[in-house]
Amino acid sequence: MKLFQIIFIFALTQISLLPQSKTDADIDLAYQNAKKGIYWALSNIPGKKASLDNDLIGEDKLYASVKISKEVQGVKVSSIGYHQTNQVEITIYRSYESLKAEGYNVPSSGWGED
């Protein structure tokens, strides 16, 4: 009888974890899409514009909304990643020197001269 109770309790805990793991997986996919937006923005820093807004769309789906703006001696990148009804936002700040050190193409004209 105790074995049956242990198996029953184990089965209930496993069933209750399924929705949580699906939610975690959905949030992870939204997070991955937000990271893709960050990487896209860092690879596409505008030359003369003070800011840039762009949506990453593929297969009729919105993957990320990206905003990049010039700041004093650096850049601010915000990316909102989407997956189904979930969204995750990441905001990073990078100096021009660290971007150059990481190998990103930072336009020299007008950047960092504020």
Segment (H or E) for 83? strand 74-83
DSSP 8-state symbol, 64: E
- Over the stretch 51-97, which tens digit does the pLDDT of each residue have? 899 999 999 999 999 999 988 888 999 999 999 999 999 999 999 89
CB 37 within 8 A of CB 64: yes
Half-sphere CA count of 100, side-chain side, radius 13 A: 10
Structure tokens at 14: 């496993």
Domain ranges of the chain: 24-114
Residue 72: predicted pLDDT: 86
pTM to 2 decimals?
Answer: 0.75
What percentage of the chain reaches a pLDDT higher than 90?
51
Structure tokens at 38: 């960050």
Residue 114: predicted pLDDT: 44
Residue 18: predicted pLDDT: 60
Which pLDDT band holds residue 1 (cuts at 50, 70, 90)? low
Structure tokens at 41: 């923005």
Residue 12: predicted pLDDT: 57
